Amino acid sequence: MIRFNNDYNRGAHPAILEALARTNTDSYGGYGQDAWCERAAAAICAELGGVDVDIHFLVGGTQVNYTVIAAALRPYESVVSADTAHIQVHETGAIENSGHKIETVPNIDGKLTASQVRTLAEAYRTSTIPEHITEPKLVFLSFPSEYGTIYSLAELKALRAVCDEYGLYLYVDGARMAYGLGAADSDVTLVDLAALTDAFTIGGTKCGALFGEALVLKNPALRRHFRSYMKQNGALLAKGWLLGLQFATLFEDGRYFALGRRADALAMRLKAACEAKGLPLYMPNSTNQQFVVLTESQRDALAGDFIFEGEGTLPDGREIVRFCTSWASTDDELDALCRAIAAL
Of residues 146-165, which lie at the interface with a second copy (CB under 8 A)?
none
Min CB(155)–a second copy separation in Å: 25
Q: Could you give the 3-state DSSP secondary structure of residue 286?
A: coil
CA distance 61 to 58: 8
Residues 93-152 that bind a second copy (CB under 8 A): 93-94, 96-102, 128-135
CA distance 271 to 284: 9
Asked if residue 229 binds a second copy (CB under 8 A), the reply is yes
How would you label 40-65 residue by residue, b for 16+ Cβ within 10 Å and e otherwise?
Answer: bbebbbebbeeeebbbbbbbbbbbbb
CA distance 42 to 170: 23
Min CB(278)–a second copy separation in Å: 28
Asked if residue 38 binds a second copy (CB under 8 A), the reply is no
Task: Identify which of 73, 169, 159 has the alpha carbon closest to the alpha carbon of residue 118.
Answer: 159
Q: Which of 54, 91, 122, 155 binds a second copy (CB under 8 A)?
A: 91
Q: What is the CB neighbour count within 10 angstroms for residue 197? A: 25
Q: Find how far residue 266's CA is from the centre of its chain.
A: 19
Q: Which of 37, 44, 59, 139 binds a second copy (CB under 8 A)?
A: 59
Q: Which of 115, 152, 232, 313 binds a second copy (CB under 8 A)?
A: 232
Choose the binding region for a second copy from 90-98, 110-118, 153-161, 164-172 (rule: CB under 8 A). 90-98
**Contact between 98 and 71 (Cβ < 8 Å):** no
Min CB(313)–a second copy separation in Å: 11
Residues 303-342 that bind a second copy (CB under 8 A): 310, 328
Asked if residue 6 binds a second copy (CB under 8 A), the reply is yes
Choose the binding region for a second copy from 16-24, 252-260, 285-293, 313-321 (rule: CB under 8 A). 16-24
